[in-house]
Amino acid sequence: MQVFRSVSQFQDHCLNLRCSGQITALVPTMGFFHEGHLSLMRWARDNADTVLVSLFVNPAQFSPGEDLDRYPRDLERDQDLAREAGVDVLFTPRVDDVYTKDHDTWVDVPGLSTFLCGQSRPHFFRGVCTVVCKLFNMALPHKAVFGQKDWQQMVVITRMARDLNLPVQIVGRPTVREEDGLAMSSRNAYLTRNERNEAAHIHAGLQKVQEWANDGERQSSKLKALLEEYYVQNVPSGRIDYVHFVHPWELTPMDRVADQVLVAVAMHVGSARLIDNMIVQG
């Protein structure tokens, strides 16, 4: 596995790969790998000639007071895991090389970014879109692989790539979960044992929504109230950021569960902000 820190060297290498006819797949990450990341890398291994992984904790998507400084990091461990997953190239750029001191260009998809996570983190998607667009320009991949746990992020990036005519296919892959259903996340490391046990109910609550819909309740407002009450009872150390019922690709609110509705949840559990989602069938 080759490891690059230089933006120009990484870009030159990826350009040579593309010009030589290699099908490349990029997995953008912020590191501290878990099985969710590794599943994306293994999919890329099975569906591309060359697997590229970027590891960059992007300061542009953190606001003051968030967890940029304490975000979990372990580069040596991540390198070993990436190598075991069959990664060909690991890219670990320096912040100053990605954002020069006079950096003043930003990419935004406001129509899809102002709801859900964008309400409590209005800075977030501008930072995500900017760094992902830059990574696409550096890596020049044919495919880019994202986990569906971050559903809104996947939708926003898909729209960005379409609107900017970027020559990359955005691939979404299913959320990988712990045995008790908790979506794997690097921020799970923040949880105490008790918080970790409670956090498993985030996904269990989403499963309850499908049960309630199967039993005939289709009003989103009533389902939302039932879900919020479930969380109050089963995640007492948690604080709900949002619970929304939206169109999966437009991210607009839906009053009824008619066909497919994305139920998206964000909760603060201890010092961790956790997100999850599920497509509920009508």
The catalytic residues are 37
- For the chain, strand residue ranges (E) read 2-4, 24-29, 50-55, 89-91, 143-147, 169-173, 238-246, 260-269, 272-281
Residue whose C-alpha is closest to residue 56's, from 104, 86, 94: 94
Rounded CA separation 14/50 (Å): 10
Cβ–Cβ < 8 Å for 119, 242: yes
Residue type, 174: P
First to last CA, the chain: 46
Site of tokens 């596995």: 1
φ/ψ of residue 28, rounded to 5: -80, 130
Site of tokens 């996904």: 203
Cβ–Cβ < 8 Å for 96, 135: no
Helices 75-84 and 35-47: crossing angle in degrees, nearest 10, is: 40
